[in-house]
Structure 1
Amino acid sequence: MKENEETIMIIEDEKSNVDILLEAFKDDYQVMVALDGETALKAIQSNQPDLILLDIMLPQMNGYQVCKELKNNPHTADIPIIFATAMSENNNEQKGLELGAIDYITKPFNIPIVKARVENHLELKQAKERLKNQNHILEQKVQARTEKLSQTQEVAIQSLAALAETRDDETGQHIMRTKQYVKLLATYLQDNPRFSDYLTDKNIEWVYKTAPLHDIGKVGVPDKILYKEGKLTAEEFEIIKRHPTYGKNAIEEAEENLGSNSFLKFAREIVATHHEKWDGSGYPQGLEGEEIPIGGRLMAIADVYDALVNRRVYKPAYSHKRAVQIITEGDGRTIPEHFDPDVLDAFIKLKDKFKKIATSFSKPEHN
């Protein structure tokens, strides 16, 4: 009765050597035999052995050629190969090892040594397979935990964004629309040399996911100001202008626990700078040009467009056409110089897609 299920293949053209090896291994392993290289390669296609004892001096196709064929095939490349060679042959052990063989045995065979080497290499193969399986399991666990963490982050983001939106019930699906606008712009600008280093696929995904937090700071604005109909006083507007700072401060507290390299970095940039303007006339810091993080520049135009095409307590909804006109030509409060020129150019090229997003997430009052 055989002790295990491993299979050894003997590729040897001398029948006397085949008989010796068969006798040595028949009680411990399954044994396959081939008298030439071509026959061996065909047999291996349907029944792959765990280890091969390969004679170098074979008819037509020598052992080196057989080894090369096996190692070049990804399905057979991991099979351990031990070369068998006569002591009198002028063999090149280095050549065999460079081709991928793991060992040499010499003829006439010293059976105890041959059996010990075969057993050792089979145990090593099993150990490698166990390690490979363990690594695969670990990779799956890491991937599952990463996915779970990502889902948790998204739920947290959506919950916080929804909380902010309850403070301004006329915005409807504002957070859903604006994150779509931002992703549209970011994807378009990805190949622009000014943006390509920042707008990687991964960063675009985080900008998209954290964009809904842009108005989280509005939870700190008093209702009488947030819901006031008509024009705000100068003092009231100064209070409104604090909401990016409120939001930034809250996110910075979370960053102290999660680290500045977390997804919150993208949220902080968007929250703190989405009301900054390219010409330096924005708030709360009065940043100018490249001082404004890219996420803030993208959100700036997305937020303005969405505010224009939807009703607010202080204004009716404008048509898409009018909103585009205001952003590209100006109306006094909004002028083209408020936006990064490349982001503005992207908006102009994508304006029809903006309109589609706007109408997909709310019933438009104007076309």
Structure 2
Amino acid sequence: MRVLVAEDDAVTSFMLVYCLEQFGYEVTAVDNGLKALELVRTGEFQLVISDWSMPKMTGVELCRQIRKRPSSSYTYVILLTSHEGTNSVVEGLDAGADDFITKPFQPEELQVRLRTGERVLSLESRDVTIFALAKLAESRDFETGAHLDRIREYCRVLCEHLLDHGPYVDQIDGDFVRMVYLTSPLHDIGKVGIPDKILLKPGKLTDEEFEVMKQHAQIGSETLDAALQARPDAEYLRMARDIARSHHEKFDGTGYPLGLKGNDIPMCGRIVALADVYDALTTKRIYKSAFSHEKAREIILDGSGKHFDPAIVDAFVETEEKFVAIRRRFADYDATIATESVTAPSQSNLGSVGRVATPFEYLAPAMN
């Protein structure tokens, strides 16, 4: 990562550059805020270390100018200062500084604060990259509309309820909620490996085609696991892998790809499973109309203990008004969502749209 240093004192600037290069950064140093601002405008620097007091433009004013400019990415600014007291801190933070280092600086402190900046910047790029990858995979299916937006909102609602209710309060915390929200859009990323003739088929899948479709869970899992091997400390990749692999497992052990049962299915996968099925039920597809919330609720309740974790079904029932609100929020720009109640097709009519063995199987093209 490249670091921009703005420091008018030659000795301090030399020490900063030396330390930063020893830490492995590529460094550019200038002696005033105006030069620094011009370099920030190139978009090549996301980490900036600036002296507070400089000619032509102070570090505080540099912060203000950086925050004023439109940018597609965040610039993390550390102010280097000999100023002390609460007023100085408030002034710097108000200007847009992210952190402070007091002169004379200690190399160890500088390194720690830079790592903090890197973590903040990586979170920004991580969030954007994850959703972009998910959207890329989803774009192959022109019918899915705002599916990813709804899925992560449904998951957030379920997680927030489970945070305070039910048997899993000791397993779910705020970090878990945020991580599921972040990674749930990657649940079907493995669909990039499914041939178009199967993925986009407008009618019922044959048994052979359905077996190919089911491979997307394993493809997604293996893809994300490869990324995890390169970054074993990236917990979000671990959860994304678990979701991709397990969101088609069923609580009674009849799901795929591993036939996991009960609590052997990762919690994140059990949550996404319900959110994904609810969205498949309540959105329109070529082979089916969008079901009403009431019909979807009936099917999900019937699947409690079979397809779904009963505790997560309970959470769904307790939060169903929020599910309805999310559907309505996206209905304004997503034509696949039912705006009026639609009942499920009768069993006698299911043969033309999909499988009939279980309440879910006729939705196989949407749910797989």
TM-score, normalized by the shorter chain, greater than 0.5: yes
Contact 1:317 1:365 survives alignment (8 Å): yes
Which residue in 1 is equivalent to 2:187?
214
User: Could you tell me how far apart the structure 1 residues matched to 2:206 and 2:237 are?
Assistant: 33
CA contact 1:218–1:243 (8 Å) conserved in 2 = yes
In structure 2, the residue matched to 1:257 is 230
The Cα of 1:352 is off from its aligned counterpart by: 1.0
User: 1:168 is matched with which residue: 114, 129, 141?
Assistant: 141
Structure 2 CA distance for aligned equivalents of residues 193 and 140 of structure 1: 40
Residue 337 of structure 1 corresponds to which residue in structure 2? Answer: 306
TM-score normalized with structure 2 length: 0.60
Aligned to 1:195, the other structure's residue is in SS state: coil
Q: What CA deviation, in whole Å up to 9, does each residue of 1:299-339 have, x standing for no partner?
A: 0000000001101233221111111111113xxxx565211
1-structure distance, mates of 2:122, 2:311: 34
Map of 1:280 onto structure 2: 253
Compute the displacement of 1:137 (Å). Answer: 6.2
2:130 to 152, 157, 179: 157
State the shift of 1:143 in Å.
3.3
The reply to whether residue 346 of structure 1 matches residue 315 of structure 2 is: yes
1:303 and 2:276 equivalent? yes
Contact 1:179/1:208 (<8 A) preserved: yes
* Rounded Cα–Cα distance in structure 1 between residues aligned with 2:281 and 2:114: 46
> Residue 227 of structure 1 corresponds to which residue in structure 2?
200
Amino acid at match of 2:316: F
Counterpart selection for 2:241 from 264, 268, 281: 268
Give the aligned residue type for 1:352: E
Q: Matched residues, percent identical?
A: 41
CA separation of 1:322 and 1:336: change in aligned 2, threshold 3 A: farther
Contact 2:304-2:313 at 8 Å conserved across structures: no
Over aligned residues, Cα RMSD in angstroms?
2.5
State the match for 1:141 in structure 2: 114
**What one-letter code is carried by the residue in structure 2 that aligns with 1:282?**
G
Unaligned runs of 5+ in 2: 1-84, 86-101, 341-368
User: Which sections of structure 1, spanning at least 5 residues, go unmatched?
Assistant: 1-74, 76-128
Q: After TM superposition, give the deviation of residue 224 of structure 1 in Å.
A: 1.1
Residue-by-residue CA offset, 1:203-262 (whole Å, 9 max, x unaligned): 221111000000000111111111112211111111111101000010011111101553
More off after superposition, 335-344 vs 348-357: 335-344
Contact 1:228 1:313 in 2 (8 A): no
CA contact (8 A) 1:230 1:313 kept: yes
Q: Deviations over 1:338-367 (max 9, x none)?
A: 110100000011111001111212343234
Q: Report the Cα distance in structure 1 between the residues aligned to 2:129 and 2:123, rounded to whole angstroms.
A: 10
Instruction: For residue 130 of structure 1, report the CA deviation from its aligned partner.
Output: 5.0
Larger radius of gyration: 1
Number of residue pairs aligned between Structure 1 and Structure 2: 238
Aligned equivalents of 1:197 and 1:253: distance in 2?
A: 30
Q: Take 2:172 and 2:116, find their aligned partners in 1: how far apart are those partners?
A: 24
Q: How many angstroms apart in 1 are the aligned matches of 2:251 and 2:198?
A: 27
Q: By how many angstroms is 1:287 displaced?
A: 0.6
